[in-house]
Chains A and B, each alone.
Chain A
C-alpha cells in the first residue's frame, strides 16, 4: 500500500518449495528488493552468517537443517557472530505454545504463508523497521 517507494534492500529467502520462492522473488523484485534464494538448511546458515542481508525470510521445514536450528545458532553468541539482519519466520507450520514462545524471543516476526499473498508479504516487510 505505502510500498510504492522502491527499496534496495537485500533479502535472503530460505525456502525449499520452489514455486513459493519463485512467487516471492517475483513480488520482491517488482518492489526493488535484491533477492537470493536458498533451499538447503546448511547452505542457508552459511549464507545468513555472511551478514549481507537486511532481511531473512526463514522457512522452518527445510532439508538438512531446520529453521529452528538455524535460528537458534544465529541467535546464540557462543555459536555464531551476531548478525544485523531481521529474521522473519515464514512457515505454514503451527507451533505448540512452548516452542512458539522460544521462537518469539529470537525472531522479529512470524508469518503463516497461507494467510498472505506475495504482495501482502512485501507490504508487511515494508513495515519492519
Chain B
C-alpha cells in the first residue's frame, strides 16, 4: 500500500479535505449565516433609534453578500471536490452554508469515493502493471492534459485530451506537441515564446492564454479554449511541461466571429445591390434604342455607381478577413494579359462616364503568372478606381504591364490628377482610413490600398507608389511568373486541378476559374 500512502500524501484533493475537516472541528457545528445575522442584530440593538434600524438593514444586506461570498466559494469547492463518474462537477442543490456536521458527512462521503476509486485503481495496477498517475490522476481530471519532455514531445496524454482532439492516444504519444496542436494565439505572446523564456530564465513558471484557437484537420470544426501551461525544470522524470486546455469553443466561436457580423451586414447590403444591378441591366437592354443620349448616359452612370458601391462592400469584407487572418489565397498559373484586360474592360465604364480614356500597353511576351484571380482583380479594381477618382480634370490614365529587370511581372497605373502630398505618402498602404486626421486629405483611398498591399504581399510581390502633388500618381505592383513562384514556394501553390475536374468553378465569383 505504499502507492496509496504516497497518493494520499500527494493528492491535493485529500490534503484539502483533511484541512477542511480540521477547520470544521475548530468551528464546531455552526450555521454561519445565522451566526452572522445574530451578530449584526446585536450590533444594531446597541445603537439606538433610527440609526440602529438603518444599521440593521445595511448590515443584513452587506454581511451575507460581502462577508459570506468568499466563504461560499470555499464551501462550494469543498462540496464538489471530486467529480462524478462522467468527470463532471456534481450539481449542488443547497444554498445555505452549513459548515457543521452536514459538511463533515459530505466530506466523509467524498473520502469514501476517493478511497474507493484508489482501491480499484490499485487492484488494476497490480493486475496490469499500469501507472498510478496515468490511471488515477490524469484520467479522473476532466480536462485535456498533455505532459511534455524537454524536447516538447508528448510523454503523457489523458483520455479527455484524445477525445477532445478526436485522436487516439497512441497517435499523440511521443509526437512533438507542435505537430499535434496547431495553435493560433491572439497575440505574439505564444506558448512557444513563453516556453523558451521559461527554459532560459526560470525553474518554475506558469502561464495562461485566453482565446487560443486550434485548427483541426478535415471536417472537424475549429476549437477555442483557454490554455494553461506549467513548467518545472526539476521534474524528476525530465517531463518538464504540463499543458491543460479549458474549452470555450461555444462562447469564443460566437463572439470571435466579428467577421460573421460583417458577413451578415454585407449580405444585407448586397441584396439591394443585386437588385439594382438587375434592374439597370433590364433598362439598358430594353430601352437602349429609345433613350436619348443624356438618359442613356444616366443609365451607364447608374451601372458604374453600382459597381463602385459593390467594390466598396467587397473591400469592407476583405479588411475584416485580413484583420482576422482569414484571407486565404490559392495561387494558380494564369494568363496575365487576359486578367488585366478583363479588369480594365470591367472598369472601363466607370472611366467612360467621367470622360476618362484608359491607355493600355501590355507587353506581348509576359509569361503565365502565379496568382489568385479574384484577389488580384480586387487589387486592379482598387488601383484603377483610385486613379479614376483622383484624376480630377485630367482625362487620361496609362496602364502598362511588362516583365521587369528582376524577372517579375510589373504593372503600373498612372494618373495625371491631384497627386499625393509627400507628408502622407509613407503611410499610404497602412490601415490609414482609421486615422481621422488624414481622412479629409486622402478621401477613401486607405481601405483599397491596405487591401491591395496585403494581397500583393501574399503573392510575394511588391507594391509601390510614385507621386508628385499636382502632377499625378503612379501606382505599381509586381507578381511572380508562375514558374518562378513554384520554384521558390513549392508548398504555396495549391493543386486545385482536382477541384476543377469536379466541375467546381472556384469560389465566389463569376469570373473565377
A61 closest partner in B (C-beta): B267
Q: 1/0 per residue B88-112: CB within 8 Å of A?
A: 0000000000000000000000000
Q: Looking at the assembled complex, report how far the CB atom of B407 sits from the nearest CB atom of chain A, in whole angstroms.
A: 32
Question: Does any Cβ of B come within 8 Å of A119's Cβ?
Answer: yes
**Pair count A-B, CB < 8 A:** 93
Establish whether residues B263 and A94, one from each chain, have CB atoms under 8 Å apart when the complex forms: yes
Question: Does any Cβ of A come within 8 Å of B508's Cβ?
Answer: yes
Instruction: Tell me which residues across on chain B come within 8 A of A97, comparing CB atoms.
Output: 326, 328
Establish whether residues B275 and A20, one from each chain, have CB atoms under 8 Å apart when the complex forms: yes
Question: Does any Cβ of A come within 8 Å of B313's Cβ?
Answer: yes
Question: Which of the 9-residue segments A4-12, A35-43, A105-113 touches chain B?
Answer: A105-113
Establish whether residues B326 and A111, one from each chain, have CB atoms under 8 Å apart when the complex forms: no
Establish whether residues B504 and A96, one from each chain, have CB atoms under 8 Å apart when the complex forms: no
- Report how far A112 CA is from B263 CA in the complex, Å: 12
Establish whether residues B326 and A23, one from each chain, have CB atoms under 8 Å apart when the complex forms: no
A17 closest partner in B (C-beta): B271
Given A61-B267, A114-B273, the answer on whether A109 and B503 have CB atoms closer than 8 Å is: yes
A105 closest partner in B (C-beta): B502
Establish whether residues A19 and B275, one from each chain, have CB atoms under 8 Å apart when the complex forms: yes
- Report how far A120 CA is from B282 CA in the complex, Å: 12
Q: Looking at the assembled complex, report how far the CB atom of B45 sits from the nearest CB atom of chain A, in whole angstroms.
A: 65
Establish whether residues B504 and A114, one from each chain, have CB atoms under 8 Å apart when the complex forms: no
Instruction: Tell me which residues across on chain A come within 8 A of B264, comparing CB atoms.
Output: 93
Establish whether residues B267 and A93, one from each chain, have CB atoms under 8 Å apart when the complex forms: yes
Instruction: Tell me which residues across on chain B come within 8 A of A128, comparing CB atoms.
Output: 503, 505
- Report how far A105 CA is from B34 CA in the complex, Å: 65
Question: Does any Cβ of A come within 8 Å of B134's Cβ?
Answer: no
Q: Looking at the assembled complex, report how far the CB atom of B254 sits from the nearest CB atom of chain A, in whole angstroms.
A: 13
Which of A19, A92, A107, A114: most chain B Cβ within 10 A? A114
Instruction: Tell me which residues across on chain A come within 8 A of B222, comparing CB atoms.
Output: 98
- Report how far A116 CA is from B510 CA in the complex, Å: 7
Establish whether residues B507 and A110, one from each chain, have CB atoms under 8 Å apart when the complex forms: yes
Question: Does any Cβ of A come within 8 Å of B179's Cβ?
Answer: no
Establish whether residues B270 and A112, one from each chain, have CB atoms under 8 Å apart when the complex forms: yes
Q: Looking at the assembled complex, report how far the CB atom of A86 sits from the nearest CB atom of chain B, in whole angstroms.
A: 8
Instruction: Tell me which residues across on chain A come within 8 A of B70, comparing CB atoms.
Output: none
Establish whether residues A92 and B270, one from each chain, have CB atoms under 8 Å apart when the complex forms: yes
Establish whether residues A129 and B281, one from each chain, have CB atoms under 8 Å apart when the complex forms: no
Question: Does any Cβ of B come within 8 Å of A115's Cβ?
Answer: yes
Instruction: Tell me which residues across on chain A come within 8 A of B279, comparing CB atoms.
Output: 23
**Interface hits, A65-93 → B, CB 8 Å:** 86, 91-93
Instruction: Tell me which residues across on chain B come within 8 A of A94, comparing CB atoms.
Output: 263, 266-267, 317, 508
Q: Looking at the assembled complex, report how far the CB atom of A81 sits from the nearest CB atom of chain B, in whole angstroms.
A: 21
Establish whether residues A114 and B313, one from each chain, have CB atoms under 8 Å apart when the complex forms: yes
B321 closest partner in A (C-beta): A94
Establish whether residues B510 and A23, one from each chain, have CB atoms under 8 Å apart when the complex forms: no
B280 closest partner in A (C-beta): A117
Establish whether residues A114 and B507, one from each chain, have CB atoms under 8 Å apart when the complex forms: no
Instruction: Tell me which residues across on chain B come within 8 A of A109, comparing CB atoms.
Output: 503-505
Which of A20, A61, A102, A110: most chain B Cβ within 10 A? A110
Which of A100, A109, A115: most chain B Cβ within 10 A? A115
Question: Does any Cβ of B come within 8 Å of A51's Cβ?
Answer: no
Q: Looking at the assembled complex, report how far the CB atom of A27 sits from the nearest CB atom of chain B, in whole angstroms.
A: 8
- Report how far A107 CA is from B508 CA in the complex, Å: 12
- Report how far A129 CA is from B502 CA in the complex, Å: 11
Establish whether residues B278 and A118, one from each chain, have CB atoms under 8 Å apart when the complex forms: yes
Question: Does any Cβ of A come within 8 Å of B499's Cβ?
Answer: yes
Establish whether residues B508 and A110, one from each chain, have CB atoms under 8 Å apart when the complex forms: yes
Query: Which one of A23, A102, A107, A110 lies within 8 Å of B278 (CB-CB)?
Result: A23
Query: Which one of A61, A91, A120 lies within 8 Å of B510 (CB-CB)?
Result: A120
Q: 1/0 per residue B242-261: CB within 8 Å of A?
A: 00000000000000010110
Establish whether residues A98 and B221, one from each chain, have CB atoms under 8 Å apart when the complex forms: yes
Question: Does any Cβ of B come within 8 Å of A54's Cβ?
Answer: no
- Report how far A95 CA is from B271 CA in the complex, Å: 16
- Report how far A81 CA is from B282 CA in the complex, Å: 39
Establish whether residues A129 and B503, one from each chain, have CB atoms under 8 Å apart when the complex forms: yes
Question: Does any Cβ of A come within 8 Å of B277's Cβ?
Answer: yes
A127 closest partner in B (C-beta): B505
- Report how far A107 CA is from B504 CA in the complex, Å: 8
Instruction: Tell me which residues across on chain A come within 8 A of B313, comparing CB atoms.
Output: 114
Instruction: Tell me which residues across on chain B come within 8 A of A96, comparing CB atoms.
Output: 257, 259-260, 326
Establish whether residues A108 and B503, one from each chain, have CB atoms under 8 Å apart when the complex forms: yes
Question: Does any Cβ of A come within 8 Å of B509's Cβ?
Answer: yes
Query: Which one of A86, A92, A119, A120 lies within 8 Å of B267 (CB-CB)?
Result: A92
Instruction: Tell me which residues across on chain A come within 8 A of B328, comparing CB atoms.
Output: 97
Instruction: Tell me which residues across on chain B come within 8 A of A104, comparing CB atoms.
Output: 499, 504
Establish whether residues A112 and B503, one from each chain, have CB atoms under 8 Å apart when the complex forms: no
Instruction: Tell me which residues across on chain A come within 8 A of B503, comparing CB atoms.
Output: 86, 108-109, 128-129
Question: B-contacting residues of A (Cβ < 8 Å)?
Answer: 17, 19-20, 23-24, 26, 61, 86, 91-98, 100, 102, 104, 107-121, 124, 127-129
The 10 closest A-B pairs by CB, nearest first: A92-B270, A114-B270, A23-B278, A117-B281, A113-B274, A114-B273, A116-B510, A112-B508, A109-B505, A114-B274
A23-B275, A110-B507 given; 6 more Cβ-contact pairs under 8 Å: A92-B270, A92-B271, A93-B263, A93-B264, A108-B503, A117-B281
> What are 25 A-B contacts defined by CB distance under 8 Å?
A20-B274, A23-B282, A24-B278, A26-B282, A86-B503, A92-B266, A93-B263, A93-B264, A94-B317, A96-B260, A97-B326, A100-B507, A104-B504, A109-B504, A110-B508, A111-B510, A112-B508, A114-B270, A114-B277, A115-B310, A115-B511, A120-B510, A124-B505, A124-B510, A127-B505
Question: A-contacting residues of B (Cβ < 8 Å)?
Answer: 219, 221-222, 257, 259-260, 263-264, 266-267, 270-271, 273-275, 277-282, 285, 310, 313, 317, 326, 328, 499, 503-505, 507-511
